[in-house]
């Protein structure tokens, strides 16, 4: 296993907003081909108990959809696993999602990103990024964990839950919330021809 890389496994969640396609890549513990209740295999969670991969993805998306506007939708989940013989990742399981965002706020959101900054139990940083995120504040100030909304806290707690198998890139469990940061994403502004 290579530290600070995506090995041994990761999940890519493809989603789209009203403006374009996006994706989230989140590392996991080692994927196992044996399913428990779903059809996507499984993991051994941080509490050493097996967890079904499909159930873990569904639980994440159920919480994460609250970070997206109703004009956004989670489309596809793909599990990628490292093949040491080939020296590269291969997709091992895919599921169509079709989960629409439920955030009730609307504007501004075009090209705005929100990043949840976490620290792992190994002391390394982990980031969860949401694009075309609705920011209702007047400023783009960094916020601490105490200023997180219930939905922001819920998604941070979901990836850090010891009953799950989400991982930071140092192959330890996501643990402490450091901050939340808002930004106007320059790459998206170019993509959307806003500049």
Task: Give per-residue pLDDT as tens, 105-153.
Answer: 777 899 999 999 999 999 999 999 999 999 887 788 999 999 999 999 9
Alpha helices for the chain (secondary structure H)? 53-64, 150-160, 186-191
Model confidence band, residue 1 (pLDDT cutoffs 50, 70, 90): very low
Q: Tens digits of per-residue pLDDT, 147-159? A: 999 999 999 999 9
Distance CA 167, CA 9 (A): 9
Looking at the DSSP assignment, which residues form a beta bridge with residue 7? none
Tokens standing for 52? Answer: 């079904």
C-alpha atoms less than 13 angstroms from C-alpha of 90 in its C-beta half-sphere: 7
Question: Would you tell me how many other CB atoms lie within 10 Å of the CB of residue 35?
Answer: 15
Region at 185 (left for phi over 0; alpha for psi -120 to 50; beta for the rest): beta
pLDDT digits (tens, 9 = 90+) for 21-54: 999 999 999 999 999 999 999 999 999 999 999 9
How does the average pLDDT of the chain come out, rounded? Answer: 94
Q: In a 10 Å sphere around its CB, with 0-12 CB exposed, 13-18 middle and 19+ buried, how is residue 65 labelled?
A: buried
**What does the alpha-carbon distance between residue 50 and residue 159 come to, in Å, rounded to a whole number?**
16
């Amino acid at each position: 296993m290579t530290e600070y890389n995506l090995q041994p496994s990761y999940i890519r969640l493809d989603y789209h907003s009203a403006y374009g396609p996006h994706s989230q890549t989140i590392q996991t513990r080692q994927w196992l081909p044996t399913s428990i209740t779903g059809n996507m295999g499984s993991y051994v969670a941080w509490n050493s108990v097996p967890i079904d991969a499909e159930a873990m993805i569904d639980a994440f998306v159920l919480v994460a959809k609250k970070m997206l506007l109703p004009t956004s939708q989670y489309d596809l989940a793909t599990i990628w696993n490292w093949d040491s013989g080939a020296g590269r990742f291969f997709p091992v399981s895919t599921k169509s999602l079709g989960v629409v965002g439920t955030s009730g706020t609307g504007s501004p959101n075009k090209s705005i990103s929100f990043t949840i900054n976490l620290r792992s139990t190994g002391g390394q940083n982990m980031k969860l990024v949401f694009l075309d995120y609705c920011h209702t504040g007047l400023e783009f100030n960094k916020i601490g964990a105490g200023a997180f909304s219930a939905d922001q806290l819920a998604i941070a707690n979901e990836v850090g839950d010891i009953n799950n198998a989400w991982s930071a890139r140092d192959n330890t469990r996501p643990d402490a919330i450091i901050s939340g940061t808002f930004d106007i994403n320059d790459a998206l502004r170019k993509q959307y021809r806003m500049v």
